Amino acid sequence: MAKGPKDAEQKLNRILNAWRTHAPDKSFGGLTFKQFEAAVAPAQQHRARIVELNEELNEETIARDHADEANGVLIRQVVAGVLADPDEGPDSAIYEGMGYTRDSERKSGLTRKHKEPDKK
């Protein structure tokens, strides 16, 4: 039995190719080659559809990434507008709501290291 979809696909293709090449007019397991081919067609159609969907997903991902790049310019423009607004500015609730740290919440960054007394 196949371990996964890729293994199942490879096994199916090997069987189809061998049967087609070596004994296309013989029946095995009560099936002709054409009957077997028709019976396994839905799995092959699903595989083809998965390939199409993955290609569409890749295309949409690329389109989204391009749109996000364009949005980055607009976002910077809006945030700069909030910062420049005399009623809002860098200490406003809207600025914080947009995910930024208000000026009044910022730490100074100054740290003083404590010296430990020499131990002898």
pLDDT of 50? 97
Write out the chain's pLDDT in tens, 120 residues.
568 989 999 999 999 999 999 999 999 999 999 999 999 999 999 999 999 999 999 999 999 999 999 999 999 999 999 999 999 999 999 999 999 999 888 877 777 787 777 766
- For residue 115, give both structure tokens: 């010296």
CA distance 70 to 68: 5
